[in-house]
Amino acid sequence: MEDVETLNQYALQGKLDVTKLSFPAFFKSALTYILLNSGGALGEGVGPLLISNTQLPLSKIATSTIAIPGLNTTANLLLSFAFPAAKNKQIMRFNEIEDAVLQGKTTLGVIIHESRFTYQLKGLTKVVDLGAFWEQSMQIPIPLGGIAIKRSIEKSISIQVSKLIKESVVYAYENYPPVPDYVKENALEMDENVMGQHIELYVNDFSLDFGAKGKEAIEALYTVYKKMEGNENNSMSLNDLFLL
């Protein structure tokens, strides 16, 4: 169990057979990994938030120091999509960003996961909802991350892994809303109400299967990623990215 950017780095190294990862990290490692249809994080109103100690004019964002939860995160990609001139970034673990902004180590911070539900309690202010910016600009949901498996693994095994993940999500749906002990033991934000909010926001029908709409959103993000990377002629098609 690791934070998202550590898992992203592991994926770039080909370290794990099956891993959760951010979409930019998956795009970078797509020759090694293929995406499973189940277990992903994609939806509406689920994007990262750009926060500060005070309400900051949008004109100041490009020159401000910004804490990000990793170079290979979707959060960083969405920040660059909204503010391409913002380059003064400091990488830190996602759960350290709120305190970094509070202590003045950075002017701004991009928060993900449960921080979305706690930043206001700490006196922090939302400057921009980066997910909402994406949705308004692209008119599609936000792809955050998925589960990928090595292409070198036999396809029948990969299909079985995908099937088991889907069954696991179905089981969780059937036994919710009680928050399981496993979640309580591993959650960084220990308030059970926050855990529930987190689950209800990030676990949805796309977690069972991306479907056509989810794949369309991933394709749009892939196109934006390639443009930002200056690699628009990448020959790998969307169908090549998915197991099924």
Residues composing the chain: 244
DSSP helix, strand, coil percent of the chain (3-state; round to 5): 50, 15, 35
Torsion from C-alpha of 196, 199, 201, 202, nearest 10 degrees: 160
Residue 120: closest CA among 197, 210, 42, 229: 197
- Options 113, 116, 198, 215, the catalytic residue: 113
Number of H helices, E strands in the chain: 10, 9
Place of tokens 């926060």: 51
How does strand 33-35 pair with strand 142-150?
antiparallel
**Contacts (Cβ under 8 Å, ≥6 apart) of 114:** 187, 188, 189, 194, 195, 197, 198
- Is 113 an annotated catalytic residue? yes
Select from 44, 45, 48, 201 the least CA-distant residue to 110: 48
- Interhelix angle 74-82/130-138, nearest 10 degrees: 70
CA distances from 56 to 59, 81, 125, 137 (A): 8, 19, 9, 22
Give catalytic residue positions. 113
